[in-house]
């Protein structure tokens, strides 16, 4: 289960139209959701509240092995209306899951607002602070949009210095400069660093993105970049959508001319390549890595009867670090409407040491909106053929408008439409014309209410015979996550960790 602060940050990115997946640091996000999911380490309770759409509070309590807690405050410039109670929030948005992101688009700025001859629309920003108790560590994050394609981040961590140990002495005892036998002969360690500041700039144009970071604690500079091959702008996307429908796009008049229909097959996707270079001034060391990713393109609505069947959601990644000789490849795919699997193989080309990981997720639990569906299944007055035709025509126009929005260039306007396409249960296509009854069923399924399941079971098995199980579900009004890590090769300690996390949003 993702934390409340991460959930707010992702909704903020969706609200301002920022590509969340178009970064080199997120190149393995699909496989990491199935192979690197985190198990709760202890008993964790988190309470969150949203008094206003732009201000949020969170309180966390960690009971084991010792009592710890934290208080968090978040404020944003954009109103996040979709943040609501945990009983009504979309369950697929609060868990790390396998997901194929849509192709990146060029970020757009805020709409201009003029007052008295001056622009007063303001700037997008998010402010986050967290106080850890009882250690009194303070951490925070501040992010803002400098330009439509440039974003700045400032993260910091401040921790109080530990008290220096002193030997209690009598006020009448003169100070002694000789070492006592009980005193250690080793020198006292230097105090830890009081904190750290991390600066980051993200530049995203859709076709490529760059990250520039600096860490003050170790003087580390980093540069990351990601380039998308075959990236298309908004006009090119509309042209491709017209060609996929068997028509030709007239750029001058904006008309579609009928021509011979096209049939395609195989995996339709896009390639992304990137790399990173970082250098530490204090440690006098540097590192480098490269990566390649192939991901399928999600289908767009409406799905025509003449169009080829959509490609199964699939993601392949390849990472290589030439300094240490580490090579890692991962394959992730959704094999059924409710099951996604992933495998990862890593090998060191210098020592020939290898590791294999296999994982997956299975969406279980009841479907939301089932009661509403049963109520709609009750006998209703029959509609005349004319009413059915008019309803089908309205539905066709709605699907056409949704497809047009998805092919646009603005992320602020089509985030909701893309959310409808993103579901653990993919769309079902058929080669026959869509009837009015099927149009009604597709309208209910695209809304996400009936397809949003309330539970997911994840499993992971690594090459050292370590197995991890995680169950995340919505139980009444709470979000519950329980997991266990077991070592099958150890007889003395077969169970290494057990944890439980409960979240409640009000």
> Measured on CA atoms in the order 282, 286, 200, 158, is the torsion positive or negative?
negative
The model's pLDDT over 319-333, given as tens digits with 9 standing for 90+, comes to 999 999 999 999 999
> CA 302, CA 234: separation in Å to the nearest integer?
18
- The Cα 504–Cα 506 span in angstroms is 7
Mean pLDDT of the chain: 77
**Is the pLDDT confidence value at 390 over 70?**
no
Q: Omega before 302 cis (within 30°)?
A: yes
| 3-state secondary structure (DSSP) of residue 34 | helix
Is 31 or 81 the better-scoring residue by pLDDT?
A: 31
Structure tokens at 404: 């047009």
Segment 420-430 shows an average pLDDT of: 45
pTM as predicted? 0.76
For helices 411-421 and 4-16, the axis angle rounded to 10 degrees is 120
Q: 309 pLDDT exceeds 70?
A: no
pLDDT of 181 reads 46
| pLDDT tens digits, one per residue of 102-132 | 888 888 888 878 888 887 778 899 999 999 9
Q: How many CA atoms lie within 13 A of 398 on its CB side?
A: 13
Q: Are 15 and 80 in contact (CB under 8 A)?
A: yes
Per-residue confidence (pLDDT) for residue 139, from 0 to 100: 93
Buried b (16+ CB within 10 A) or exposed e, 188-221: eeeeeeebeebebebebbbbbbbbebebeeeebe
pLDDT digits (tens, 9 = 90+) for 336-370: 889 999 999 999 999 889 999 999 999 997 665 44
Helices (H), 357-485: 370-376, 385-406, 411-421, 436-446
- Given this model, what pLDDT does residue 400 score? 63
pLDDT at 416 over 90: no
pLDDT at residue 249 is higher than 90: no
pLDDT of residue 242: 57
* 36-50, 178-192, 454-468: the lowest-pLDDT one: 178-192
pLDDT tens digits, 433-447: 333 333 343 333 333
**Helix or strand run (H / E) with residue 4:** helix 4-16
Q: Give the count of beta carbons closer than 10 Å to the beta carbon of residue 297.
A: 17
Residue 82 has what pLDDT?
80
- 118 CB contacts (<8 Å, ≥6 apart)? none
Residue 235: per-residue pLDDT: 55
Distance (Å, whole) CA 367 – CA 451: 6
pLDDT band at residue 461 under the 50/70/90 scheme:
very high
Closest CA to 99 of 296, 272, 367: 296
Which pLDDT does position 345 carry in this prediction?
A: 96
Please report the sign of the dihedral spanned by the C-alpha atoms of residue 275, residue 359, residue 2, residue 494: negative
Beta bridge pairs of residue 343: 331, 358
- Res. 256 pLDDT band, cuts 50 70 90: very low
pLDDT higher than 80, residue 42: yes
Distance CA 330, CA 340 (A): 13
The pLDDT, as a whole number, for residue 138 is 92
Which among 232, 228, 268 is positioned nearest to 26, based on CA atoms? 228
| Cis peptide, bond prior to residue 98, ω within 30 of zero | no
Reported as a single tens digit per residue, the pLDDT across 100-109 is: 888 888 888 8
DSSP E strands in 3-67: the ranges are 43-52, 55-62
Range 402-441 burial, b when 16+ CB lie within 10 A, else e: bbebbbebebbebbebbebbbbbbbbeeeeeebebeebee
- Give counts: helices (H), strands (E), the chain: 7, 23
Provide the pLDDT confidence category of residue 183 given band limits of 50, 70 and 90.
very low
């Amino acid at each position: 289960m993702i934390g409340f602060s991460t959930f707010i940050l992702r909704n903020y990115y969706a609200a301002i139209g920022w590509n969340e997946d178009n970064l080199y640091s997120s190149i393995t996000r699909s496989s990491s959701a199935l192979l690197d999911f985190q198990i709760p380490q202890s008993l964790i309770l988190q309470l969150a509240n949203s008094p206003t759409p732009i201000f949020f509070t969170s309180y966390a309590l960690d009971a084991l092995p010792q009592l710890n807690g934290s208080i968090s405050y978040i404020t944003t410039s954009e109103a996040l209306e979709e943040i609501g109670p945990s009983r009504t929030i979309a369950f697929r948005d609060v868990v790390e899951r396998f997901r194929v992101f849509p192709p990146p688009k060029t970020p757009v700025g805020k709409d201009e607002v003029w007052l008295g001859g001056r622009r007063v629309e303001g700037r997008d920003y998010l402010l986050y602070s967290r106080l850890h108790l009882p250690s009194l560590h303070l951490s925070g994050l501040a992010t803002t949009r400098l330009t439509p394609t440039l974003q700045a981040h400032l993260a910091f961590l401040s921790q109080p210095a530990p008290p220096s140990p002193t030997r209690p002495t009598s006020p009448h005892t003169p100070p002694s400069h000789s070492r006592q036998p009980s005193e250690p002969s080793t020198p006292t360690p230097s105090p830890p660093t009081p904190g750290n500041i991390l600066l980051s700039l993200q530049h995203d144009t859709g076709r490529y993105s760059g990250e520039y970071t600096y860490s003050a604690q170790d003087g580390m500079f980093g540069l990351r970049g990601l380039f998308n091959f075959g990236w298309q702008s908004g006009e090119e996307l509309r042209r491709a959508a017209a060609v996929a429908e068997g028509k030709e796009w007239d750029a001058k008049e904006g008309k579609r001319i009928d021509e011979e229909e096209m049939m395609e097959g195989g995996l339709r996707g896009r390639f992304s390549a990137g790399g990173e270079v970082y250098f530490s001034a204090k440690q006098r060391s540097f590192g480098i890595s490269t990566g390649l990713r192939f991901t399928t393109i999600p289908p767009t609505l409406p799905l025509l009867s003449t169009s080829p069947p959509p490609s199964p959601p699939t993601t392949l990644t390849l990472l290589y670090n030439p300094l240490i000789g580490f090579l890692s490849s991962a394959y992730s795919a959704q094999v059924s409407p409710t099951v996604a699997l992933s495998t990862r193989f890593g090998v060191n080309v210098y020592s020939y040491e290898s590791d294999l990981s296999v994982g997956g997720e299975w969406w279980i639990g009841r479907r939301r909106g089932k009661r509403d569906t049963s109520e709609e299944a009750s006998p209703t007055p029959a509609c005349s053929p004319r009413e059915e035709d008019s309803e089908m025509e309205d539905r066709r126009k709605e699907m056409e408008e949704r497809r047009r929005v998805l092919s646009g260039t603005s992320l602020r306007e089509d985030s909701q439409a893309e959310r409808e396409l993103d579901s653990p249960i993919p769309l079902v296509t058929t080669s026959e014309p869509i009837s009015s009854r099927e149009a009604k069923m597709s309208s209910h399924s695209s809304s996400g209410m009936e397809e949003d399941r309330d539970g997911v079971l994840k499993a992971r098995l690594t090459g050292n015979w370590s197995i991890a199980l995680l169950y995340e579900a919505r139980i009444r009004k709470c979000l519950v996550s329980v997991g266990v890590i077991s070592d099958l090769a150890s007889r003395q300690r077969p169970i290494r960790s057990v944890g439980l996390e409960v979240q409640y949003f009000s």
